[in-house]
Amino acid sequence: MNWWPFAKDAETVTLDGPHALLDDIEKRGKRYLDDVDSGKLISPACKRTASDPGCDRAVIADHTRLEAFRYLLMVPRREFTLLAEPERQAELLDGYLRQIPHEETVVEFTGVTQADLAIAIIAGFNWLVDCAVSAGADPKQFYGALRNFRRTVSTAQKWWAADGASERYGEMLKSGEEAPLFLNLVWTDYGRMAEEIANAHAARQASPA
Question: Which tens digit of pLDDT belongs to each residue from 121-130?
Answer: 999 999 999 9
Q: What is the mean pLDDT of the chain?
A: 89
Number of residues that make up the chain: 209
Residue type, 151: R
- Note the pLDDT of residue 208: 64
Predicted TM-score (pTM) of the model is 0.90
Contacts of 39 by beta carbon, 8 Å cutoff, 6+ apart: none
- Note the pLDDT of residue 139: 73
Q: Please report whether residue 56 resides in a domain.
A: yes
Is the predicted pLDDT of residue 7 greater than 80, yes or no? no
Q: Please report whether residue 5 resides in a domain.
A: no
**Span 78-97, average pLDDT:** 96
Residue 190's domain spans which residues? 17-203
**Span 167-188, average pLDDT:** 94
Distances from the Cα of 110 to the Cαs of 51, 118, 123, in angstroms?
41, 11, 14
Nearest to 34 by CA among 63, 1, 2, 55: 63
Q: Please report whether residue 7 resides in a domain.
A: no
What's the pLDDT band for 3 if we cut at 50, 70, 90? very low
Q: Please report whether residue 134 resides in a domain.
A: yes
Whether residue 193 contacts residue 98, with contact meaning beta carbons closer than 8 Å, is answered with no
- Note the pLDDT of residue 10: 37
**Span 106-128, average pLDDT:** 94
Number of domains in the chain: 1
